[in-house]
Amino acid sequence: MASSRPGPNLSRIATSLGVSIATVSNALSGKGRVSDQLVERIREHAAELGYVPSQAGRALRTGRSGVLGLVLPDIANPLFPKIAQAIEFAASAAGYGVLIADSRGDAAAQAEAINRLVERGVDGMVVIPRRATRITFAACPVAVIDTPSTPGNTVSADHWQGGREIALHLADLGHQRILIIGNNQESSVQNDRAGGIRAGLRPGMQAETLWIDKLERDGGNGCPLGLAERARQGFTAFAALSDLQALRALTELQQAGINVPAHVSVTGFDDLIWSPVVTPSLTTVRMDMDRIAGIAVSALADTISKSRAREGVLVTAEIERVAMQLIVRQSSGPREPGTKNLRDGEHVR
């Protein structure tokens, strides 16, 4: 005996209405030429019975599961909620479900996560690749979201331009010496952001980059960044390459008695959940995740409808760059002329 669902199926609707299964199917999907009157009757009856089409039956027949995979380097990344929400929303609107998979660990774990998704029969997937990983092939269409400098990419925020926005903003405020703070020297996203900042510098401005990952290799996790010292050295702006680092910088400076933005400015990237909530609220750069997700999902949907089921295709025709938007909040302000001459202990408890 094959196990059966308790709910009604096409066959039950058909017999109870005295029509064929094919007609019910056609009426419900609106595809076949069925008289309006019969369509009406069938739809009504189906609704009455609480008919829910079987995805399994449909999938087996059509070769499509109606599910998209979402592969992330690490779900714990604080950007994840925004991504997941945007992808889920876009996928939902396009009639897809979203299966998540964490590729925590190394590139091998990523390959495994992708395989798991393929085994579950996803029609395609959105991959946010691990640093320095290149997705070359999977057994289904793949859309990659990374950064425009990554080859084989499908869509992404223009992180470089986002960096320029930050630099221009800081320049307008009169800042001359900027400390860029990143936490992953191998991340192409962070490198693009840093490159953009440097590219946006006006003559006379200088930037130096502090990589936390390097620092922590020696100093241990959560070691102090020594930012008060940097402020004393004359840095007046701290441009973190992510809001988490910005938060880290902001609180370290505050704790050292340096006022933000009166003495120094702090900026971040991504407009994460806490950015508008902390005091002072964080100036940051936001990516339009809904647009990025929309583009990725519709590129995927197009490819799926054109390709044969389970054919591996990298959705990569033309890389779409989505501009990032500067959000000016309270953590950045005009450079205070005196700040440059901060002495030891002056603003430090």
Q: Which positions lie near DNA, rule CB under 7 A?
A: 1-2, 4-5, 9-11, 18-23, 25-26, 28-29, 31-36, 38, 51, 53-54, 56-58, 60-63
Q: Quick check: 270 and 276 in contact, CB under 8 A?
A: no
Write the interaction track for a copy of itself spanning residues 23-62; mark x where CB under 8 A is met and - where it is not. -----------------------------xxxxxx-xxxx
Which pair of structure tokens corresponds to residue 172? 């307008």
Q: What is the 3-state secondary structure (H, E, C) of 44-111?
A: HHHHHHCCCCCHHHHHHHHCCCCEEEEEECCCCCCCHHHHHHHHHHHHHHCCCEEEEEECCCCHHHHH
Segment interacting with a copy of itself, rule: CB under 8 A, options 96-104, 143-151, 152-160, 173-181: 96-104
Segment interacting with a copy of itself, rule: CB under 8 A, options 155-163, 169-177, 244-252, 313-321: 244-252
Q: Which does 317 bind (CB under 5 to 8 A by kind): DNA, a copy of itself, none?
A: none
Should residue 109 be labelled a site residue for a copy of itself when binding is judged by CB under 8 A?
no
Q: Quick check: 324 and 275 in contact, CB under 8 A?
A: no
Which pair of structure tokens corresponds to residue 347? 């603003």
Should residue 226 be labelled a site residue for a copy of itself when binding is judged by CB under 8 A?
no
d(CA 292, CA 128): 12
Q: Which does 38 bind (CB under 5 to 8 A by kind): a copy of itself, DNA, none?
A: DNA
d(CA 235, CA 205): 11
CB of 313 to DNA, least distance (A): 19
CB of 276 to a copy of itself, least distance (A): 6
Contact with a copy of itself (CB under 8 A): which of 32, 81, 105, 234? 81
| Among candidate residues 303, 333, 329, 331, the one with its CA nearest the CA of residue 316 | 303
DSSP H or E segment with residue 319: none
Q: Quick check: 268 and 250 in contact, CB under 8 A?
A: no
Q: Which does 116 bind (CB under 5 to 8 A by kind): DNA, a copy of itself, none?
A: a copy of itself
Q: Which does 20 bind (CB under 5 to 8 A by kind): DNA, a copy of itself, none?
A: DNA
Contact with a copy of itself (CB under 8 A): which of 89, 174, 215, 321? 89
User: Residue holding tokens 């909040």?
Assistant: 329
For 297, other C-beta atoms within 10 Å of its C-beta total 26
CB of 318 to DNA, least distance (A): 30
For the segment 175-214, give every residue that binds a copy of itself (CB under 8 A): none
- At position 92, the amino acid (one-letter code) is S
Q: Which does 206 bind (CB under 5 to 8 A by kind): a copy of itself, DNA, none?
A: none
CB of 102 to a copy of itself, least distance (A): 6
**Mode of pairing for the β-strands spanning 284-287 and 324-327:** antiparallel
Q: Which does 224 bind (CB under 5 to 8 A by kind): a copy of itself, DNA, none?
A: a copy of itself
Segment interacting with a copy of itself, rule: CB under 8 A, options 31-39, 199-207, 275-283, 332-340: 275-283
Complex with DNA: residue 35 or 233, whichever CB lies closer: 35
Which pair of structure tokens corresponds to residue 117? 């998704």
Q: Is 286 helix (H, G, I), strand (E, B) or coil?
A: strand
For 23, other C-beta atoms within 10 Å of its C-beta total 19
